[in-house]
Amino acid sequence: MVRYYSIKRGFVDIPNDRKIHKFPIPRLGGVAIWLCTLLTFAILVLLSWDYPHGNGLSGILVGGSIIFLLGLVDDIYNLSPKFKLFIQFGAAVVAFLLGVKIEIISNPFGDPILLGIWSFPITLFWIVAISNAMNFIDGVDGLAGGVSAISAVTLGVVAIYTHQPISALVAAILAGAMMGFLLFNFHPAKIFMGDSGALFAGFTLAALSVTGVLKTVAVTMLLPIMILAVPILDISYSVSRRLFKGSNPFIADADHIHHRLLKAGLSHNRTVMVFYLLCIAAGSIATIFVGAYKLYFILVILILSIMLILARLSKSRRLNELQNNIINKSDIPEKQDS
């Protein structure tokens, strides 16, 4: 229904040099994801489920709805990057005031660090960064949706292990919404999640990862970093690359890691599978070794190194192809004048 409405109203993603698809695609898939999540909670409340207060759930739902609406307006009107960033921080502030807080950071070389007054800025940075990270990787059919689903399932498993039923419920609802959406988003996609869906998914994962699951000393900040290693690496690589070039880090381009893999010759589906497998591997290891801080630290470095190597290999392969094309063209004999 959302797809047909998007087509009817002209809310579609138009192809250009930066984008991979060749035909206009509806871009309001985030509406379905957000509605599915909110309606599920509404049904649970109507079924006499006791709404849990004071554990960050309100922060996830309210802040997530704010950032969803921001993405929806951006999908329709193309807002400026500065304005979007301002509203994103506003949504993060709302979430913080409603209980979504990072209070402890793991220290692989000693005792955990209590943040105190630094909890506020670090929480805001984490939420905004992960929200944008998920939006950054939403450049290939099925990529952001699949990574979100895998991350949500992993957080759900950890929440069950650490006896956090509310966090597990939120993770399960988000994973279900993403899996349903993926049926229409796998290549070739029939609909895109747009900024509304990507920002909402990223915000929910970021907020979920620092609420119930992380209220125990056994599971602290390195766990979500491990689970969300794939989008974290992509946004770190993309922002640092753009800053190094002197360009705006929030202006989209076609040089993300998934773009490099495509340029290196991987098919669309294989590129997505590379990200899925890395995400599954990171999530599985994080789930198995809950509480092993030093091991987390090593594994985070390992995953980041693998992703950087893949990006470097794809760039080298692309350069070799360009060199071969130049050589082949130079070998063509010039046409002799008669």
Summarize pLDDT for 287-317 with one digit per residue, the tens: 776 655 555 566 566 666 666 665 665 555 5
Whole-number Å distance between alpha carbons of 191 and 210: 31
pLDDT band of 74, cuts 50, 70, 90? very high
| Domain assignment of residue 147, yes or no | yes
Domain count, the chain: 1
Please state whether the predicted TM-score (pTM) of the whole model is above 0.85.
Answer: no
Residue 45 lies in a domain: yes
Angle between helices 29-46 and 2-9 (to 10 degrees): 140
Residue span of the structural domain in which 278 resides: 27-319
325 domain residue, yes or no: no
For residue 17, the model assigns a pLDDT of: 62
Tell me, yes or no, whether 284 lies in a domain. Answer: yes
Q: Between the ranges 199-208, 211-220, 317-326, where is the mean pLDDT highest?
A: 199-208
| 120 inside domain | yes
Q: Which residue has the higher pLDDT, 266 or 35?
A: 35
Q: Per the domain annotation, does 332 fall within a domain?
A: no
Portion of the chain with pLDDT greater than 70, in percent: 72
Q: Which residue has the higher pLDDT, 46 or 192?
A: 192
Please determine, for residue 83, whether its predicted confidence score (pLDDT) is greater than 80.
Answer: yes
Torsion of CA 18, 22, 23, 29, to 10 degrees: -60
| Closest CA relative to residue 34, chosen from 158, 201, 172 | 201
CA atoms of 237 and 184, how far apart (whole Å): 29
12 domain-assigned: no
Indicate whether 136 belongs to any domain: yes
